[in-house]
Amino acid sequence: MATVQTNDTAQQLAIPGKATGWGSAVNGGELLCLALATCFCNDIYREAKKKNIHVTKVVVEASAEFAAEGEAGYHLQYKAHVEGDASDEVLAQLIRDTDKVAEIQNTLRKGVPVSLLE
């Protein structure tokens, strides 16, 4: 079980253990892709509301490649499909606009240093 918390709101996420032993059945690369997809999904609704667009469906697929142990991932990419009460052109622009302001995407693009606290 993992606990995530923002301010005073804590939530638990069930992440099963590996059937073969120690560790979780979901790896960090998969969770990184999930973070990217989840951020975009949440942000598309936020940005759509600003533009008075009613979004009825969002599908996000994210992927990355990881080579040798200890090396950074690469080819991190995602695609999104959005349905709503606007034209395809307007929804496509909403996707592009949301991509520019999505926090996880921008954090990864910036290459923020990560520090181990002791």
Is the confidence at residue 22, as pLDDT, over 90? Answer: no
- Mean of pLDDT values over 101-105: 97
pTM: 0.88
Separation CA 32–CA 5 (nearest Å): 17
- Mean of pLDDT values over 1-5: 88
56, containing H or E segment: strand 55-65
For the chain, what are the domain ranges?
A: 26-110
Query: Average pLDDT, whole number, for the chain?
Result: 95
**What's the CATH code, domain 26-110?**
3.30.300.20
Cross-strand partners of 61: 79
Give DSSP secondary structure letters for 11-33: EEE--PBPTTSSSBSS-HHHHHH
Residues 6 or more apart in contact with residue 19 via CB below 8 angstroms? 25
Query: Which of 50-54, 57-61, 68-72 shows the lowest mean pLDDT across its residues?
Result: 68-72
More confident residue, 71 or 85: 85
- Mean of pLDDT values over 4-8: 92
Q: How many CA atoms lie within 13 A of 19 on its CB side?
A: 0
